[in-house]
């Protein structure tokens, strides 16, 4: 093997390592003890050790690492108490109706305790089975941890699942922890009175990290280990380059700008992922340009992109619709747009005047691009010409888009500007 | 669709099994039969076809090299995990073909399911599972699916099971390869990619309240690092907002082709490149002002190019255009461009074109006229035509005027009323016109349709002698009372052909209401003229 391919081998290895770190959710929270991590671990481990019931809500915006932290805690606890914990995981997206929720609980409990799961069991059987297992587990001093992801979705409807779970926990013999995870900060307000009174109102709030913390996380994620299969001089050089990038003022500007949109951990990881993927394997080190391209490829302006794709005729139709909107004609459809199009043509003698069927196709293109949409959802009783439509683009965006459009006819810009 | 123009030497989007079988042999039927008997292996998850290099891909997709490289970079080297990707861009920008070709190049397994063919959540789930479980529907299993699954919760359980199976299978395979040192690059790797094409259609499934967040959150839910998701959509990520929220996938944007790219694409596979290029110099720019979709442009430009070559001796096959000739050709084509711009999207059915060419010699005197007549004669019985006209009238005219229009003295009444047009009436007319533009054709109950139908059939009886036989028949049917059943039959045919729209029954009146969907142009020019029916006399003109 030549030196070159060997060098490339390192970089591929390093790249794979970084990508695995970014895609796996737990690494970012490892070695950086989160205060929530220790709190949560204390709460669960004490209720396991003292054999009592508990219910906790983990709240925070999407992508703030609620599940990742919980997974770390559960991992630790499974090592700490290998025989006295069993975990049941539910997701509100999948099990928000009672029937499938009870079924899934029964299935997971059966798997856990090597019992035979019957698919044909009724929902009632399943719920009774759950209560029975909880009782048995309590007698055996075994804690069942219920993890309810998307907790707010379980609070829709009659909340039978939540009620029967929490009600079963009221008895002395049972021993269970219910962990609700939700993005809605008012998740506990959604509960019915009978459920809320059985819920111990512990809440853990997960907040996005500050800019300094984000930067610390960035270093943590991108630093290569010196004592691994990678050659140490390569790793040292790599880490030095990363540090150089982070110290660069221009990088800081981009980084701050990116986090100002959304500073959650998941959002940060997306940015790192893009930057790392753009790393040049030939060079083998990250550069500031990688982060710049990542920034521009993630932060997109879909409406302006869409405008850039439009043909001139499509722009005409958009401008006509905008004019109608300014005239406060609150309902417009293809026919009224065509009328306006004709007025414009008559008064300015534009070179772009096409037949009706051509315009109709351009109109349909705009609907496919989702720059305009039908206001009624009733659908197909009328042909497209008659259905009322509305613009999905603001006049500022249209204005900006027309300016950026290279071969935009001057008349269109004038038509828009007159009103602005 | 119009993928062919972009990559002529690559077959269209096909299922992979079809792809490989048709690539290997032209004699598909026996080959398919044989392959039906073999059990599927994990190799069937690869995109079929000969290995292809990255350079070949970039050269077969002009103007797409930055997108291709971006996708390859994001997919990363072998065995590296991947966050979900979201590929988006307008119609006919090469999203699907490029993704499939890249996978063909990388030789990695993928599960491709299009949300257009898998048109609801159950079919999508079952299609994904069938592919993952290497299940093929055939006679032996009476064409059933590998798993029956309707609920998302079942799907996620089955999916997790199937994926772990596949991933273990892949891992074993690559370990074996490494231990045997057969290949130095590790073969297929351990990753499996799930591709969801036409993802924008999912938004319309059962109001997308559960399925959309489920698919977006699937990656976090599965927590299998070897699995990754690729969504292909024709609308941008911001059109997928729901009140659930999700962590957005990594966007990859395919912009529409620029004029230069379109030029390059259209130039491919042309016999005479120089001549075609000089043609594009003239014709492409005005057409690009109307549309920038390659497929539409290709169909619109084709007849024009034939016209362009007309003055040349051998249809321009071996001609090298000189400056002088270019100018001559330009002058020849110039008047045609303006007119053809206005029928860019006219769909010419192949049958009518065939008819045209076969009749060409006979009807050369006035080809335009003959074409129209040929168009007129869409095969419909006379009574169906009358029915269509009465539906049109019922949709257009206000119901209150029926009596005066169709009364035996109706014609004279009508004229009197018209003469008395006052200021107020004029205003009213304008309002009505506006309303017609906004609301479109009105609805009408069946009774009114039948009444008008009978009126116009009886009117048509009197003046015309040509159709006597026909009308006698109608009259006879009227007498027998069998007309009604016949009319209802015709009506349902017209409804099915989408000439008349049948609405749901009205909650107040309780009867079904109808609406005619044909345009005035068609009603007047085509149907009425073929019947020699004086339609304009009966049309209430505001």
pLDDT over 80 at B479, yes or no: no
Residue with the bigger pLDDT between B349 and B111: it is B111
Contact call for B255 and A333, based on CB within 8 A: no
Contact call for A15 and B80, based on CB within 8 A: yes
**pLDDT classification of B476: cutoffs 50, 70, 90:** very low
Select the residue of A24, A267, A277 nearest B225 (Cβ to Cβ): A24
**pLDDT classification of B411: cutoffs 50, 70, 90:** very low
Contact map slice: B 182-211 vs A, CB within 8 A: 210
Check if the beta carbon of residue A143 is closer than 8 Å to that of residue A51.
yes
| Res B541: pLDDT | 65
3-class DSSP string for B489-525: HHHHHHHHCCCEEEEEECCCCCCEEEEECCCHHHHHH
B-chain CB neighbours of A100 within 8 Å are 151, 153
Compute CA distances B12 → A45, A93, B19, B97, B395, whole Å: 58, 36, 9, 8, 44
| Res A355: pLDDT | 85
| Res A272: pLDDT | 92
Nearest CA-CA distance, residue A139 and chain B, Å: 30
| Res A207: pLDDT | 87
Q: Which long-range contacts (CB under 8 A, 24 or more apart) does A194-198 make?
A: A194/A163, A195/A159, A195/A162, A195/A163, A195/A166, A198/A163, A198/A166, A198/A167, A198/A169, A198/A170
Least confident of A106-120, B230-244, B363-377: B363-377
- How far is C-alpha B239 from the geometric centre of its chain's CA atoms? 21
Distance CA B415, CA B401 (A): 13
pLDDT tens per residue, range B242-289: 767 777 889 999 999 988 899 989 888 787 888 888 888 888 888 888
Sheet of strand B500-505, all strands in order from the earlier edge strand to the far edge: B443-445, B512-516, B500-505
HSE-up (13 A, CA, CB side) for residue B431: 6
CB of A100 within 8 Å of a chain B CB? The answer is yes
Distance CA B256, CA B535 (A): 46
Compute CA distances B527 → A347, B127, B392, B443, whole Å: 36, 47, 11, 20
Phi, psi (rounded to 5 degrees) for B319:
-95, 135
Distance CA A289, CA A320 (A): 42
Contact call for A267 and B247, based on CB within 8 A: yes
Interface test with A, best of B70, B71, B75, B77 (most A CBs within 10 A): B77
Distance CA B523, CA B494 (A): 14
The structure tokens listed for B64 are: 């797409």
pLDDT over 70 at B358, yes or no: no
Distance CA A9, CA B169 (A): 25
Angle between helices A211-222 and A265-277 (to 10 degrees): 40
Distance CA B506, CA A78 (A): 63
The structure tokens listed for A335 are: 């026919």
| Res B483: pLDDT | 53
Task: Show Cβ contacts of residue A140 under 8 Å, excluding neighbours closer than 6 positions.
Answer: none
Q: How crowded is residue B443: how many other Cβ atoms within 10 Å of its Cβ?
A: 17
Q: Is B433 helix (H, G, I), strand (E, B) or coil?
A: helix
B-chain CB neighbours of A20 within 8 Å are 80-81, 225
| Res B210: pLDDT | 81
Nearest CA-CA distance, residue B172 and chain A, Å: 20
| Res A227: pLDDT | 79
Interior CA angle at B380 toward B379 and B385, to 5°?
140
Residue with the bigger pLDDT between B409 and B243: it is B243
| Res B162: pLDDT | 93
A-chain CB neighbours of B73 within 8 Å are 277-278
Contact call for B247 and A303, based on CB within 8 A: no
Contact call for B437 and A361, based on CB within 8 A: no
Select the residue of A91, A270, A354 nearest B221 (Cβ to Cβ): A91
CB of B79 within 8 Å of a chain A CB? The answer is yes
- What stretches in chain A show pLDDT beneath 50? 1-4, 420
Nearest CA-CA distance, residue B218 and chain A, Å: 10
Residue the block writes with tokens 């065509």:
A338
Task: Show Cβ contacts of residue A243 under 8 Å, excluding neighbours closer than 6 positions.
Answer: A219
pLDDT over 70 at B137, yes or no: yes
Contact call for B153 and A16, based on CB within 8 A: no
Select the residue of A23, A183, A380 nearest B81 (Cβ to Cβ): A23
Distance CA B539, CA B534 (A): 9
CB of B293 within 8 Å of a chain A CB? The answer is yes
Q: Which residue of A has its CA nearest to B201?
A: A368
Select the residue of A96, A333, A381 nearest B501 (Cβ to Cβ): A381
What is the length of chain A? 420
CATH for A33-205?
Answer: 3.40.50.300
Check if the beta carbon of residue B396 is closer than 8 Å to that of residue B441.
yes
Return the domain boundaries, chain A: 33-205, 210-298, 304-417
| Res B355: pLDDT | 41
Alpha-carbon dihedral A34, A35, A36, A37, rounded to 10 degrees = 50
A-chain CB neighbours of B212 within 8 Å are none
| Res B510: pLDDT | 67
A-chain CB neighbours of B440 within 8 Å are 382-383, 385-386
Alpha-carbon dihedral A395, A401, A403, A409, rounded to 10 degrees = -90
| Res B427: pLDDT | 77
Task: Show Cβ contacts of residue B125 under 8 Å, excluding neighbours closer than 6 positions.
Answer: B149, B150, B152, B155, B158
What is residue A33's DSSP assignment?
Answer: -
| Res A381: pLDDT | 63
| Res B352: pLDDT | 40
- How far is C-alpha B446 from the geometric centre of its chain's CA atoms? 33
Residue the block writes with tokens 């009126």:
B455
- What is the full DSSP assignment across A256-282? HHHHHH---HHHHHHHHHHHHHT--TT
Select the residue of A93, A308, A388 nearest B152 (Cβ to Cβ): A93
B-chain CB neighbours of A22 within 8 Å are 83
CB of B242 within 8 Å of a chain A CB? The answer is no
pLDDT over 90 at B232, yes or no: yes
Residue the block writes with tokens 């459009």:
A405
Check if the beta carbon of residue A279 is closer than 8 Å to that of residue A245.
no
The structure tokens listed for B127 are: 């299609």
Residue the block writes with tokens 């050269």:
B59
Contact call for B345 and A357, based on CB within 8 A: yes
Contact call for A386 and B70, based on CB within 8 A: no
Instruction: Name the CATH superfamily housing domain B16-254.
Output: P-loop containing nucleotide triphosphate hydrolases (3.40.50.300)
Q: Is A26 helix (H, G, I), strand (E, B) or coil?
A: coil
pLDDT tens per residue, range B9-40: 444 444 444 444 333 333 334 444 444 556 77
B90 — alpha (psi -120 to 50), left (phi > 0) or beta? beta
Most confident of A109-118, B41-50, B368-377: A109-118
Task: Show Cβ contacts of residue B176 under 8 Å, excluding neighbours closer than 6 positions.
Answer: none
Alpha-carbon dihedral A249, A253, A258, A263, rounded to 10 degrees = 70
Task: Show Cβ contacts of residue A101 under 8 Å, excluding neighbours closer than 6 positions.
Answer: A90, A95, A154, A161
Check if the beta carbon of residue B229 is closer than 8 Å to that of residue B219.
yes
**pLDDT classification of B198: cutoffs 50, 70, 90:** very high
A-chain CB neighbours of B77 within 8 Å are 12, 15-16, 281
Contact call for A386 and B439, based on CB within 8 A: yes
Q: How crowded is residue B414: how many other Cβ atoms within 10 Å of its Cβ?
A: 16
HSE-up (13 A, CA, CB side) for residue A9: 11
Select the residue of A270, A336, A369 nearest B90 (Cβ to Cβ): A369
Contact call for B82 and A23, based on CB within 8 A: yes
What is residue B527's DSSP assignment?
Answer: I
CB of B515 within 8 Å of a chain A CB? The answer is yes
Select the residue of A94, A278, A335 nearest B437 (Cβ to Cβ): A335
Residue the block writes with tokens 């007159």:
A418
Distance CA B465, CA B471 (A): 9
CB of A377 within 8 Å of a chain B CB? The answer is no
CB of A277 within 8 Å of a chain B CB? The answer is yes
Q: Which residue of A has its CA nearest to B155?
A: A94
Contact map slice: A 127-166 vs B, CB within 8 A: none
pLDDT over 60 at B295, yes or no: yes
Interface test with A, best of B149, B203, B437, B514 (most A CBs within 10 A): B437
| Res A102: pLDDT | 92
| Res B377: pLDDT | 53
CB of B438 within 8 Å of a chain A CB? The answer is yes
| Beta-bridge mates of residue B87 | B232, B252
Most confident of B14-23, B138-147, B455-464: B138-147
| Res B160: pLDDT | 93
HSE-up (13 A, CA, CB side) for residue B293: 21
Distance CA A58, CA A43 (A): 12
Return the domain boundaries, chain B: 16-254, 259-347, 382-538
Q: Which residue of A has its CA nearest to B439?
A: A386
What is residue B293's DSSP assignment?
Answer: -
Check if the beta carbon of residue A46 is closer than 8 Å to that of residue A79.
no
| Res B426: pLDDT | 73
CB of A215 within 8 Å of a chain B CB? The answer is no
- How far is C-alpha A213 from the geometric centre of its chain's CA atoms? 21
The structure tokens listed for B529 are: 């003229």
Mean pLDDT, chain B, as a whole number? 75
Select the residue of A19, A94, A303 nearest B153 (Cβ to Cβ): A94
Distance CA B347, CA A280 (A): 49
Nearest CA-CA distance, residue B94 and chain A, Å: 15
Least confident of B7-11, B40-44, B527-531: B7-11
CB of B503 within 8 Å of a chain A CB? The answer is yes
Nearest CA-CA distance, residue A420 and chain B, Å: 25
Interior CA angle at B189 toward B183 and B192, to 5°?
155
| Res B20: pLDDT | 40
The domain defined by A304-417 folds into Arc Repressor Mutant, subunit A (1.10.10)
A-chain CB neighbours of B441 within 8 Å are 386
Q: Is B537 helix (H, G, I), strand (E, B) or coil?
A: helix
Distance CA A180, CA A190 (A): 13
Distance CA B216, CA A151 (A): 18
Q: Exposure pattern of A183-209 as b/e (b: 16+ CB <10 Å)?
A: bbeebbebbeeebeebbeeeebebebb
pLDDT over 70 at B378, yes or no: no
Contact map slice: B 372-431 vs A, CB within 8 A: none
CB of B246 within 8 Å of a chain A CB? The answer is yes
| Beta-bridge mates of residue B512 | B505
Select the residue of B74, B253, B342 nearest A300 (Cβ to Cβ): B253
Sheet of strand B85-89, all strands in order from the earlier edge strand to the far edge: B110-114, B192-197, B227-233, B85-89, B250-254
Distance CA A7, CA A161 (A): 57
What is residue A189's DSSP assignment?
Answer: G
The structure tokens listed for A206 are: 């997960």
């Amino acid at each position: 093997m030549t030196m070159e391919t060997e060098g490339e081998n390192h970089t591929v290895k390093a790249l794979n390592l970084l990508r695995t770190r970014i895609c796996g959710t737990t690494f970012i929270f490892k070695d950086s003890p989160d205060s929530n991590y220790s709190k949560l671990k204390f709460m669960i481990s004490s209720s396991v050790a003292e054999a009592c019931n508990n219910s906790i809500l983990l709240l925070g915006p999407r992508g703030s690492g609620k599940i990742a932290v919980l997974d770390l805690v559960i991992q630790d606890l499974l090592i700490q108490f290998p025989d006295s914990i069993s975990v049941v995981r539910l997701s509100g997206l999948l099990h928000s109706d009672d029937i499938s929720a009870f079924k899934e609980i029964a299935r997971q409990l059966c798997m856990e305790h090597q019992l035979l799961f019957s698919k044909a069991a009724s929902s009632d059987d399943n719920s009774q089975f759950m209560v029975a297992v909880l009782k048995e587990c309590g007698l055996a001093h075994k804690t069942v941890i219920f993890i309810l992801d998307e907790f707010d979705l379980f609070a829709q409807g009659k909340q039978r699942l939540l009620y029967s779970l929490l009600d079963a926990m009221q008895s002395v013999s049972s021993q269970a922890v219910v962990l609700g995870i939700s993005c809605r900060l008012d998740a506990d307000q959604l509960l019915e009175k009978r459920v809320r009174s059985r819920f111990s109102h512990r809440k853990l709030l997960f907040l996005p990290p500050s800019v300094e913390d984000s930067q610390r996380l960035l270093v943590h994620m991108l630093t290569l280990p010196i004592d691994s299969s990678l050659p140490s001089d390569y790793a040292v050089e790599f880490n030095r380059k990363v540090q150089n990038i982070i110290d660069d003022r221009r990088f800081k500007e981009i980084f701050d700008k990116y986090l100002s949109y959304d500073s959650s951990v998941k959002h940060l990881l997306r940015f790192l992922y893009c930057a790392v993927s753009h790393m040049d394997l030939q060079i083998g080190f990250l550069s500031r340009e990688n982060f710049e391209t990542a920034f521009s490829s993630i932060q997109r302006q879909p409406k302006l992109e869409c405008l850039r794709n439009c043909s001139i005729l499509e722009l005409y139709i958009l401008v006509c619709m905008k004019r109608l909107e300014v005239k406060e004609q609150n309902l417009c459809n293809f026919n009224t747009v065509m009328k306006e199009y004709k007025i414009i043509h008559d008064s300015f003698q534009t070179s772009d005047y096409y037949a009706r069927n051509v315009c109709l196709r351009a109109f349909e293109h705009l609907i496919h691009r989702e720059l305009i949409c039908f206001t009624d959802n009733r659908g197909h009783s009328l042909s497209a010409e008659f259905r009322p439509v509305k613009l999905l683009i603001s006049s500022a965006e249209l204005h900006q888009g027309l300016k950026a459009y290279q071969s935009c006819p001057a008349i269109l810009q004038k038509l828009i500007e007159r009103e602005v | 669709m119009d993928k062919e123009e972009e990559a002529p030497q690559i077959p269209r989007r096909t299922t992979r099994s079809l792809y490989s079988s048709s690539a290997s042999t032209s004699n598909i039927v026996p080959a398919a039969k044989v392959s039906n008997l073999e059990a599927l292996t994990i190799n069937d998850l690869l995109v079929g076809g000969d290995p292809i290099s990255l350079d070949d891909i970039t050269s077969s997709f002009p103007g797409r090299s930055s997108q291709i490289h971006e996708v390859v970079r994001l997919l990363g080297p072998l065995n590296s995990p991947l966050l979900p990707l979201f590929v988006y861009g307008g119609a006919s920008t090469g999203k699907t073909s490029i993704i499939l070709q890249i996978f063909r190049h990388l030789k990695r397994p993928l599960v491709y399911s299009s949300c257009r063919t898998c048109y609801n959540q159950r079919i999508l789930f079952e299609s994904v599972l069938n592919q993952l479980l290497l299940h093929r529907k055939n006679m032996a299993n009476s064409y059933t699916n590998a798993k029956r699954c309707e609920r998302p919760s079942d799907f996620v359980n089955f999916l997790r099971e199937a994926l772990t199976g596949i991933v273990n299978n892949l891992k074993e395979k690559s370990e074996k390869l490494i231990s045997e040192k057969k290949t130095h690059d590790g073969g297929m790797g351990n990753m499996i990619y799930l591709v969801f094409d036409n993802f924008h259609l999912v938004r319309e499934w059962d109001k997308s309240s559960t399925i959309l967040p489920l698919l977006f959150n699937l990656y976090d839910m599965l927590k299998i690092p070897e699995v990754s998701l690729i969504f292909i959509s024709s609308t941008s990520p911001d059109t997928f907002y729901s009140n659930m929220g999700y962590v957005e996938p990594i966007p990859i944007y395919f912009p529409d082709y620029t004029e230069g790219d379109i030029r390059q694409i259209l130039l491919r596979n042309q016999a005479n490149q120089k001549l075609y290029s000089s043609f594009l110099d003239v014709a492409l720019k005005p057409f690009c002002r109307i549309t920038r979709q390659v497929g539409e442009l290709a169909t619109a430009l084709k007849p024009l190019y034939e016209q362009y070559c007309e003055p040349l001796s051998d249809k321009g096959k071996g001609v090298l255009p000189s400056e002088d000739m270019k100018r001559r050709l330009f002058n020849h084509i110039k008047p045609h461009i303006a007119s053809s711009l206005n029928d860019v999207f006219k769909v010419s059915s192949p049958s009518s074109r065939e008819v045209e060419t076969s009749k060409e010699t006979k009807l050369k005197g006035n080809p335009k006229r003959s074409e129209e007549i040929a168009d007129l004669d869409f095969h419909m019985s006379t009574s169906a035509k009358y029915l269509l006209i009465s539906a049109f009238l019922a949709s257009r005219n206000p119901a209150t005027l029926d009596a005066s229009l169709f009364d035996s003295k109706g014609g004279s009444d009508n004229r009197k009323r018209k003469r008395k047009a006052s200021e107020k009436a004029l205003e009213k007319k304008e309002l009505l016109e506006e309303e017609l533009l906004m609301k479109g054709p009105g609805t009408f109950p069946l009774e009114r349709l039948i009444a008008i139908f009978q009126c116009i059939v009886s009117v048509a009886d009197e003046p015309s002698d040509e159709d006597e036989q026909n009308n006698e028949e109608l009259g006879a049917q009227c007498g027998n009372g069998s007309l009604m059943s016949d009319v209802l039959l015709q009506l349902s045919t017209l409804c099915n052909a989408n000439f008349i729209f049948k609405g749901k029954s009205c909650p107040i009146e309780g009867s079904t209401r109808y609406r005619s969907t044909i345009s005035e142009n068609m009603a007047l020019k085509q149907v009425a003229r073929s019947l020699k029916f004086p339609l304009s006399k009966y049309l209430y003109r505001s």
